[in-house]
Amino acid sequence: MIKPHGSETLNPLYVADAAQRAALLEEAKGLPKLLVSSQAAANAVMLGSGYFNPLTGFMSLADAMSVGEGMKTTSGLFFPTPVVNVVADVSAIRGAKRIALLDPNVDGNPVIAIQDVTAIDEATDDQMKTMTQQVYGTTDPAHPGVAAFTSVGKFFIAGPIQVLNYSYFATDFPDTFRTAMEIREMIAANGWQTVVAFQTRNPMHRAHEELVKIAMKRVNADGAVIHMLLGKLKPGDIPADVRDACIRKMVELYFEPNTVEITGYGFDMLYAGPREAVLHALFRQNMGATHLIVGRDHAGVGSYYGAFDAQEIFHTDMVKGQLDIEIFEADHTAFSKVVGEVIMMREAPEGHKKEDFIFLSGTKVREMLSNGEPLPPEFARPEVAKILMEYYQSQK
C-alpha cells in the first residue's frame, strides 16, 4: 500500500487507549482552558485521524509563514497549508505549558484535545495579509475561507497535541466518518491495490458519477473511495446528511457491487482552490489512495481561481515530486446529446458545440427543486433528485 506522507507508517494523534484517555480527561479538569475556533477543532480532528501525518500538532507562526511562502515548514517538511490554532485572546492561558482545548461545535464545549504549548506568537496585520494572499490567492473578505481565517484572531498557539475525541463527526455520522487509519484498513481488507479517491462537498450528479467511473477505468483501479467533507461549509451548501443520503443511493443503484466505499472526514472547507487541492492529495495519500481525481475548479469558490489552476499547481516546482499519490486530471463533465452519454468536454468529438451538452447552473438546480420540478435524468439520477427535492421542499 502507498506510504503515508512524511513517514513509513501512519501516526494518528488520537489517544486510542481508553485508560490513558480517561486519565488525560481527568488531568484536563485542572488545566487552563481555551475555547478554540471551529477551524482549529477540525484541525484537531484531522490530526487525530491521521490525515495530517506526519504533523505532531499545531504549527508555529514561523512555520505557518514558511508554509504560506513555499509550502514547507521551517524544518523543510512539505505541507501545502498552515495547520494552526489561532485565537483572539490568550489571557486565560498566558504562561501555561499545557492547556485543554475546548470544542466550540459540541454542546457544553467538551475537551477535544490537550496541547503542550511551545510558543504563543502574535501575527502582525502584514503577516496575516501575506499568509492569506499566499494560501487563498486573495485577501477579499467576501471569500468564505478568507473570512474564516482572518476572523478568529492573530495569536498562534504552537505545540503537539493529544486528541481525545472526534468532535461531532463520529456521533453525527457514525456510518460515514472514518479516520485515515480506518480507510487504510478498509482498503487492505478489500484487497485493493490501485484506489481512486473522489473528494466532494456536494451531492453527486450524473457528471460526478461518470467521472469516478472514467477515472477507475483509465487507471485500472480495484476500487474507489468517495470521501465527503462533513465539516462546516459556506451558507447555502447542502447539509452533510442530505449529501450522504444522495451518494449512498447513487452508489447502491449505479455502481458495481463492492467497488466503492463511502466515507467522510471531519474538516471545515477552506475553499482555497489550488492550495486546498494539494492538501486534499496529501490526506488522500495518508488514507491509502493511490490516485485523486482533481477536476475543474477543484476546491474553488466564486471566480477566485482559474478553471484548471488546481491541476496546474501539481506541475510547479514547489509541488512536483513532493507526494507519492498520482493526480487524475479531469475536465468538466456533462451529458452530450450527440454522444448520448456523460463525457469529459475536452474529449468531445470534433464539431461538438457547447449547446450539445446539458448544463444546469447551481442556481437553476435549486430553483427547480424548490419549485418541485424534476431534474433532467441526463443531469441527475431520479432517485438522487428525489432526495434533493424533498430537502428543498422542506426548507420552504
Q: Which residues are catalytic?
A: 201-202
Please say whether the dihedral angle defined by the alpha carbons of residues 24, 26, 30 and 32, taken in this order, is positive or negative: positive
Distances 239 to 67, 202, 232, 245, 345 between C-alpha atoms, Å: 31, 9, 9, 10, 29
What span, in angstroms and rounded, lies between the C-alpha atoms of 280 and 299?
9
Distances 290 to 193, 222, 300 between C-alpha atoms, Å: 8, 11, 23
Cell of 224: 474507489
Give residue for cell 443511493: 249
Cell of 12: 494518528
How does DSSP classify residue 349? P
Cell of 90: 490568550
Can you say whether residue 391 is alpha, beta or left, with left for phi > 0 and alpha for psi between -120 and 50 degrees?
alpha
Note every long-range contact of 170-174, with CB atoms under 8 Å and residues 24 or more positions apart, other chains counting. 172/230, 172/240, 172/241, 173/230, 173/240, 173/241, 173/244, 173/264
In terms of Cα–Cα distance, which of 175, 158, 159, 177 is closest to 167? 177
What span, in angstroms and rounded, lies between the C-alpha atoms of 163 and 280?
21
Please say whether the dihedral angle defined by the alpha carbons of residues 90, 95, 101 and 102, taken in this order, is positive or negative: negative
In terms of Cα–Cα distance, which of 279, 323, 325 is closest to 299? 279
What span, in angstroms and rounded, lies between the C-alpha atoms of 128 and 242?
36
Provide CB contacts within 8 A for 188, sequence distance 6+: 1, 288
